[in-house]
Structure formats: structure tokens, C-alpha cells
């Protein structure tokens, strides 16, 4: 998911719209914006892409100088409208709106506890749990937020809008990104820095793991809900999720991907005879450029992406996912025919994409296809908000590397090693889907298992 917020700007709603537009790649299942004018909270949201949600003029009713917005990538909770954010609660102390990116690992347990104590849930998403957790505590809101966060395990970057103030919170491992920028007299918060560029905001810094930032009339105040913090940003932010023009924890995403490609080329140096490098658009183009630069092989546009189809992975069923890939990618036959192709993809999850593309290239008479995956084999599921699903669905878990090469139909197959990924993006990341070293306790049927 992507979250975005504006504090203190007369155009809070439209700016949120433009900011979210720059984050659309982070989720296409739903979108929404809530604003506050000091007296009340207004919200408009719906299913689908941002532009289609707001095409009938939903922005008009969003009054006030502060806003939070969300683009949804469904993991926990279905795609019902009840799960689309912002999630708004009307309470005696005033209204609040929450937007959330990530996944609460102990959601099941917390939900049971809350229900046993009388809470009633409208939807099935984690964000609602956060709302209830906050409402149930006593004291000033900042204290309530801090107390609630202590009980949450997992990944969460969230923004809370009250009638007057705006809060930004990042989990103690910093699993999901969140940054803050200056915009005129006010502030701006975003999952990714690319959205700051889009609206002319000036990047200040990343919100720190465990930090709670409060924006009010007094300006920006920082506090921490815990002292046990560490920097464990999701490595997949660099590999796949973020836009190449974003800087995540101080590293430019394009630069990291390019480095991964370069390293892959160095590993191939003695041995791989090929004619061209082709990256799978869009997320693998940076790695393909790096591979090309280091190998001396030309980087060619062998595959074309139809821009008007969303990210395939996000479609919920396998059949739709297969169809999605077909609508999305075409081969540039004149470029690849008769060529030995080094095909670069950023990641291999279920194998759907790679298998289809290798087949496409072969049908277009590519002489050989050497598949290079610019990340390590994914063999463990993610519990922090990336929908790589169950272990059984992970093709690298199910198949040996020889069987996998055969399955995708490539002449050779190689992954980036974990050590090489660490070299490219630094060691301070979560790499759990590659090595099983989860950064929080895990829960099984509501029970803590580690
Ligand atoms: P597969 O087709 O192997 O299941 O998925 C891998 C492909 O899906 C890659 O080309 C990658 O760019 C794309 N992809 C889309 N969404 C995601 C995601 O959430 N995580 C990862 N790792 N890859 C994704
Ligand atoms: Fe990211 Fe993988 Fe960690 Fe999930 S398990 S947060 S996808 S690195
Ligand atoms: Mg891809």
C-alpha cells in the first residue's frame, strides 16, 4: 500500500490526490482521501484506481487544510469496500481517520482480544484493529497511540488524522518506508519520496523506526513508543516495490537495482555468450541497464509493456494473474529473433511471469534465453504486507534449481545471491523471504510461535 499526508495547506485534498497518484504503483485495489478542517473529518474512498475513484468529483467535499490518503494493495482482508482506507471512526473525543501500510503480524490475537472486550468490527483489515486499539486506551491521544503501538507486532507505517492534528508512526523495525518533507509553511508525509517531487515538497528525512511524529500548531514534535528499535526496511522495496526515482533510507532505488544487475553480470563474466540484454519492464529495467553496462552487451527493448494494465501480481486469483500477464507484455520480435538473450527480471515468486516471457521470446525465435533474477530465490512467506502468500505457492520452495530452469523453459537460470543483494542495498534490511530470519515473533492461529 501507499500512504500520503498533508499538514497545513489550503489545498490539502488536491495535493493528497497528486501525491497518491505518484504512489499508485503501490496498490491499485482501492484509494481514498480524508481531510480535516479543525471541526470535523471528511472522507471519500472507493475501489479501483485513484483516478477512477475520484472521477465523479469526490474531491469537492473534502474540506480543510490537513489530509491523509491511501492506495490499497490487498493482503489481509478482502477487497470489500469496508477494507478500503482511510478508516474513519467517530468517537466522543472527536473523529479520527487512519491510513496504514504493512501488516500486523498479531492481528488475529489482538482482534480476538478486542472482540472479547466488546469491540465490533466492520471489515477484516488491520487498520480497523489499530483504530480500536487506540480508542480503548486512556489519556491524551499521543499517549494512547504510543501504548497501542507497543502491543502491535509486524509492519506498520501509519498516519492518523484528527480534527486538528496529524500523527505519523513507523514500526520499531522500520519494515515499511515513510518519509517527511516540508511544503511551504506545512508538512507532507509519504511512503515514498517520489511523491514529494510530484508536488514540489522538500524532503526532510525518513521517519525513524519506533518514532511517533506529531504535527500540530506547535509544529513538529518527535517521540518514540519504544527504545528497542532497529533499521530493517523490507528488501523488496528496493527489488520491486518502490519507484526507481524514490530514495529509500537514503539509497536511490534505481541505483540499487542497477548495482544488482552489475553484480549479476560480473558473476556471468566467464561463461555466458550472449547477444543482447532484455529487462522485463518496468521494474527490471534498472537491473538490465546495470547488467548491460558491466557486460558490454547492448540493452535492447525486447519486451514492451502495455501501460494501461495494472501490476499483474496484485490480481487475486491465479487465472486472472495469468490473463493479466498476457495483456501486459508483448515481445518485440524484430529485436529478439535469432538472438541469444539475457533476460533480466527483478524477482521470481510464483514463476508465472518468467515462464510466460521465456515462452514468448522462444516463440519469437530467440535462439537462447538466459534468465537472470536480480534478487535471491524467495523460499519463505512474508508476514509483513507483501502478498507472496503461502510457502507452497513459492516456486523456488517447491522446485530444485534444475527443475525450476526446466519449468520456466530457460537455457540457463541464475539468481542474485543474498550476499550480493546485501552488498547492493546494505545489510540493514529485512531479508526474511530469502533466509527465513523474521524480525518479529511469528504467530500461528493467534499463538506466538517464536
Ligand atoms: P511471478 O510471476 O514469479 O509470480 O512474480 C514475479 C513477477 O511479478 C516479477 O516480474 C515482479 O516484477 C512482479 N511482481 C508483481 N508484484 C510483486 C510483488 O508484490 N512482489 C514481487 N516480488 N514481485 C512482484
Ligand atoms: Fe520484505 Fe521479504 Fe521481509 Fe516481507 S519478508 S518484509 S517481502 S524482505
Ligand atoms: Mg516484473
Q: Residue 325 Cα, ligand 3 centroid: separation in angstroms?
A: 10
Ligand 2 site, CB within 6 A: 175, 234-236, 382, 384, 386, 430-433
Nearest CA to ligand 1 atom 4: 350
* CB of 352 shorter than 6 A to ligand 1: yes
Element (H, E) at 319: helix 318-328
CATH number reported for the structural domain that contains residue 185 in this entry: 3.60.20.10
Query: Nearest CA to 376 among 423, 429, 433?
Result: 433
Q: List the pLDDT tens digit at each of the 450 positions of the chain.
A: 999 999 999 999 999 999 999 999 999 889 999 999 999 999 999 999 999 999 999 999 999 999 999 999 876 556 677 788 999 988 777 899 999 999 988 888 888 888 888 888 777 778 888 888 888 778 899 999 999 999 999 999 999 999 999 999 999 999 999 999 999 999 999 999 999 999 999 999 999 999 999 999 999 999 999 999 999 999 999 999 999 999 999 999 999 999 999 999 999 977 689 999 999 999 999 999 999 999 999 999 999 988 776 554 555 566 766 666 677 889 999 999 999 999 999 999 999 889 999 999 999 999 999 999 999 999 999 989 887 668 888 999 999 989 999 999 999 999 999 999 999 999 899 999 999 999 988 776 445 554
> Is 90 domain-assigned?
yes
**Same domain (yes/no): 199, 286:** no
**Same domain (yes/no): 187, 55:** yes
Gap between the Cα atoms of 99 and 66, Å rounded: 14
Which is the closest atom of ligand 1 to the Cα of 386?
19
Which is the closest atom of ligand 1 to the Cα of 350?
4
Q: How many CA atoms within 13 Å lie on the side-chain side of 428?
A: 11
Nearest CA to ligand 1 atom 16: 313
Q: Which of 24, 347, 413 for a ligand 1 pocket mutation test, highest count of atoms within 8 Å of Cβ? A: 347
Q: Read out DSSP for 16-70?
A: HHHHHHTTGGG--SEEEEEEE-SS-EEEEEEES-HHHHTTT-GGGG--SSEEEEE
Gap between the Cα atoms of 299 and 302, Å rounded: 9
Q: Residue 282 Cα, ligand 3 centroid: separation in angstroms?
A: 6
3-state secondary structure of 101: strand
CATH number reported for the structural domain that contains residue 371 in this entry: 3.40.50.2020
> Is 449 domain-assigned?
no
Per-residue pLDDT at 18: 98
Gap between the Cα atoms of 164 and 75, Å rounded: 31
Per-residue pLDDT at 90: 85
Nearest CA to ligand 1 atom 11: 347
Cell of 356: 510466460
Which is the closest atom of ligand 2 to the Cα of 429?
8
Q: Residue 243 Cα, ligand 2 centroid: separation in angstroms?
A: 17
3-state SS record for 367-433: CEEEEEECCCCCCCCCCCCCCCCCHHHCHHHHCCHHHHHHHHCCCEEEECCHHHHHHHHCCCEECHH
**Same domain (yes/no): 271, 225:** no
Gap between the Cα atoms of 62 and 52, Å rounded: 17
Q: Of how many residues is the chain composed?
A: 450
**Same domain (yes/no): 68, 16:** yes
Q: Which residues contact 419 (CB under 8 A, 6 or more apart)?
A: none
Nearest CA to ligand 2 atom 4: 382
Element (H, E) at 343: strand 340-345
Per-residue pLDDT at 119: 80
> Is 450 domain-assigned?
no
List the catalytic residues. 1
Q: Read out DSSP for 257-314?
A: HHHHHHHHHHHHTTT---SEEEEPTTTTHHHHHHHHHHH-PPB---EEE-TTS--GGG
- Grid cell 519492464 in the structure block, residue: 281
Q: Which range marks the domain in which residue 144 is found?
A: 2-231
Q: Residue 378 Cα, ligand 2 centroid: separation in angstroms?
A: 10
Contact between 430 and 234 under an 8 Å Cβ cutoff? The reply is: yes
**Same domain (yes/no): 221, 267:** no
Distances (CA, A) of 100 to 31, 146, 312: 12, 16, 22
Strands (E) located in 114-199 = 154-162, 166-170, 179-183, 186-190
Q: What are phi and psi of 290, to 5 degrees?
A: -65, -40
Which is the closest atom of ligand 2 to the Cα of 386?
7
Q: Residue 416 Cα, ligand 2 centroid: separation in angstroms?
A: 16
Q: Which residues contact 211 (CB under 8 A, 6 or more apart)?
A: 168, 169, 170, 222, 223, 224
Sign of CA dihedral 135, 439, 345, 404: negative
Gap between the Cα atoms of 211 and 324, Å rounded: 39
Which is the closest atom of ligand 1 to the Cα of 375?
22
**Same domain (yes/no): 54, 176:** yes
**Same domain (yes/no): 180, 301:** no
Cell of 293: 553496462
Per-residue pLDDT at 447: 52
Gap between the Cα atoms of 426 and 382, Å rounded: 20
**Same domain (yes/no): 205, 288:** no
**Same domain (yes/no): 320, 171:** no
* CB of 396 shorter than 6 A to ligand 1: no
> Is 243 domain-assigned?
no
| ipTM score assigned to the predicted complex | 0.94
The tally of domains found in the chain comes to 2
Gap between the Cα atoms of 117 and 173, Å rounded: 29
**Same domain (yes/no): 224, 369:** no
* CB of 286 shorter than 6 A to ligand 1: no
Per-residue pLDDT at 116: 86
* CB of 351 shorter than 6 A to ligand 1: yes
Query: Nearest CA to 146 among 244, 213, 196, 198?
Result: 213
Per-residue pLDDT at 310: 54
Q: Residue 378 Cα, ligand 1 centroid: separation in angstroms?
A: 11
DSSP strand pairing (87-91 vs 94-104) = antiparallel
Q: Which of 287, 353, 383 for a ligand 1 pocket mutation test, highest count of atoms within 8 Å of Cβ? A: 353
> Is 242 domain-assigned?
no
**Same domain (yes/no): 174, 290:** no
Gap between the Cα atoms of 91 and 137, Å rounded: 13
* DSSP 8-state code for residue 269: T
**The last residue of a domain, from among 198, 231, 264:** 231
Amino acid at each position: 500500500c501507499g500512504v500520503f499526508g498533508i499538514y497545513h495547506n489550503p489545498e490539502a485534498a488536491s495535493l493528497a490526490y497528486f501525491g497518491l497518484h505518484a504512489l499508485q504503483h503501490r496498490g491499485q485495489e482501492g484509494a481514498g482521501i480524508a481531510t480535516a478542517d479543525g471541526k470535523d473529518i471528511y472522507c471519500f474512498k472507493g475501489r479501483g484506481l485513484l483516478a477512477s475513484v475520484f472521477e465523479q468529483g469526490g474531491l469537492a467535499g473534502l474540506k480543510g487544510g490537513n489530509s491523509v490518503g491511501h492506495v490499497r494493495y490487498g493482503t489481509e482482508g478482502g477487497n470489500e469496500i469496508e477494507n478500503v482506507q482511510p478508516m474513519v471512526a467517530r468517537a466522543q473525543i472527536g473523529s479520527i481517520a487512519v491510513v496504514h501500510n504493512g501488516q500486523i503480524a498479531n492481528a488475529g490475537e489482538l482482534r480476538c482480544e478486542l472482540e472479547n472486550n466488546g469491540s465490533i468490527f466492520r471489515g477484516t483489515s488491520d487498520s480497523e484493529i489499530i483504530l480500536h486499539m487506540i480508542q480503548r486506551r486512556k489519556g491524551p491521544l499521543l499517549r494512547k497511540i504510543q501504548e497501542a503501538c507497543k502491543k502491535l507486532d509486524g509492519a506498520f507505517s501509519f498516519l492518523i488524522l484528527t480534527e486538528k492534528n496529524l500523527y505519523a508512526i513507523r514500526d520499531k523495525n522500520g519494515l515499511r518506508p515513510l518519509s517527511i518533507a516540508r511544503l511551504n509553511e506545512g508538512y507532507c508525509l509519504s511512503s515514498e519520496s517520489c511523491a514529494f517531487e510530484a508536488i514540489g515538497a522538500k524532503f526532510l528525512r525518513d521517519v525513524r523506526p519506533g518514532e511517533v511524529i506529531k504535527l500540530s500548531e506547535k509544529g513538529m514534535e518527535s517521540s518514540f513508543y519504544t527504545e528497542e528499535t532497529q533499521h530493517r526496511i523490507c528488501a523488496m522495496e528496493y527489488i520491486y516495490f518502490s519507484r526507481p526515482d524514490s530514495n529509500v533510507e537514503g539509497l536511490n532505488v534505481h541505483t540499487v537495482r542497477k548495482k544488482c544487475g552489475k553484480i549479476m553480470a560480473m558473476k556471468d563474466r566467464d561463461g555466458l555468450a550472449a547477444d543482447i540484454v532484455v529487462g522485463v519492464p518496468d521494474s527490471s529495467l534498472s537491473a538490465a541497464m546495470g547488467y548491460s553496462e558491466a557486460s558490454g552487451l547492448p540493452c535492447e527493448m525486447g519486451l514492451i509493456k502495455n501501460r494501461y494494465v495494472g501490476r499483474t501480481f496484485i490480481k487475486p486469483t491465479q487465472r486472472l494473474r495469468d490473463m493479466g500477464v498476457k495483456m501486459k507484455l508483448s515481445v518485440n520480435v524484430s529485436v529478439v529473433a535469432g538472438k541469444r538473450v539475457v533476460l533480466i527480471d527483478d524477482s521470481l515468486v510464483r514463476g508465472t511471469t518468467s515462464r510466460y516471457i521465456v515462452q514468448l521470446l522462444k516463440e519469437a525465435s530467440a535462439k537462447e534465453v538466459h534468465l537472470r533474477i536480480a534478487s535471491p530465490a524467495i523460499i519463505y512467506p512474508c508476514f509483513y504486507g507483501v502478498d507472496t502468500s503461502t510457502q507452497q505457492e513459492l516456486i523456488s520452495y517447491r522446485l530444485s534449481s534444475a527443475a525450476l530452469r526446466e519449468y520456466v523453459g530457460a537455457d540457463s537460470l541464475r539468481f542474485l545471491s543474498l550476499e550480493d543483494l546485501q552488498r547492493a542495498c546494505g545489510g540493514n534490511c529485512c531479508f526474511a523471504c530469502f533466509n527465513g530470519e523474521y524480525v518479529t515473533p511469528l504467530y500461528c492461529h493467534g499463538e506466538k510461535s517464536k
